[in-house]
Structure 1
Amino acid sequence: MDDAELAKIRQARLEQLKAASAGAGAKGGLSSGGGGGSGGQEQAQQQRQQQEEARQSMLNQILEPEAADRLGRIRLVKEQRATEVENRLLMLAQSGQLRQKVTEVQLKELLNAVADKKEEEKIVVSRRKGWEDDDDDDLLDL
Structure 2
Amino acid sequence: MDDADLEQIRKARLEQLKSERKGQGQGDQEQQKQQRQQQQAEARRTMLDQILHPEAADRLGRIRMVKEERATEVENRLLMLAQSGQLRQKVTEAQLKELLNAVADNKEEEKIVVTRRKVWDDDDDDLLDL
1:135 aligns with 2:122: yes
Structure 2 partner of 1:122? 110
Structure 2 partner of 1:13? none
Identity %: 70
Give the TM-score, by structure 1 length: 0.66
Q: Which runs of 4+ in 1 moved over 6 A?
A: none
Q: Note the 1:18-97 alignment, pairs <5 A.
A: 34=22, 35-97=24-86
In the alignment, residue 30 of structure 2 is paired with which amino acid? Q
Tell me how far apart the structure 2 counterparts of residues 101 and 140 of structure 1 sit (CA, whole Å): 75
Report the alpha carbon displacement of residue 65 of structure 1 after superposing the two structures with TM. 0.5
In the alignment, residue 100 of structure 1 is paired with which amino acid? Q
Pick closer, same or farther for the CA change 1:141–1:114 going to 2, 3 Å: farther
* Unaligned residue ranges in structure 1 (runs of 5+): 1-32
| Cα root mean square deviation, aligned | 2.3
Secondary structure in 1 matching 2:86: coil
Give the TM-score, by structure 2 length: 0.71
Pick closer, same or farther for the CA change 1:65–1:138 going to 2, 3 Å: same
In the alignment, residue 27 of structure 2 is paired with which amino acid? S
1:113 aligns with 2:102: yes
* Unaligned residue ranges in structure 2 (runs of 5+): 1-20
Secondary structure in 2 matching 1:97: coil
In the alignment, residue 114 of structure 1 is paired with which amino acid? V
The higher-RCO structure (CA 8 Å, 6+ apart) is 1
Report the alpha carbon displacement of residue 132 of structure 1 after superposing the two structures with TM. 7.7
Pick closer, same or farther for the CA change 1:132–1:67 going to 2, 3 Å: same
In the alignment, residue 101 of structure 1 is paired with which amino acid? K
